């Protein structure tokens, strides 16, 4: 396959993956934050975060930290 065709095919694949990520992004983020919230409720913040640090990537741990920050803001606003 010529180089130009390979580049065109790669662009199409990346565009498709990007579209899927954009389309599922908000619902995935909500589901992820819900899992974080449940983990904290069940095991406590320290244990849940330690588990995340040991088993997930740095990016996933940062995303979980953002979920926790949002949860604290919502609770503070509701008081």
Give residue 35's pLDDT.
86
pLDDT of residue 1: 61
- Write down the pLDDT at residue 67: 86
What is the reported pLDDT for 77? 78
Rounded Cα–Cα distance for residues 39 and 24 (Å): 22
pLDDT in tens, 19-72: 455 555 566 667 778 888 888 888 888 888 888 888 888 888 888 888 888 877
- What's the token pair of residue 66? 């953002």
Q: How many CA atoms lie within 13 A of 47 on its CB side?
A: 7
């Amino acid at each position: 396959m010529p180089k130009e065709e390979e580049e065109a095919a790669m662009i199409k694949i990346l565009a498709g993956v990007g579209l899927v990520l954009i389309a599922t992004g908000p619902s995935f983020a909500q589901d992820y934050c819900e899992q974080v919230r449940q983990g904290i409720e069940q095991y406590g913040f320290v244990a849940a975060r330690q588990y995340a640090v040991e088993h997930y990537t740095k990016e996933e741990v940062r995303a979980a930290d953002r979920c926790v920050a949002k949860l604290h803001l919502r609770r503070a606003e509701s008081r």
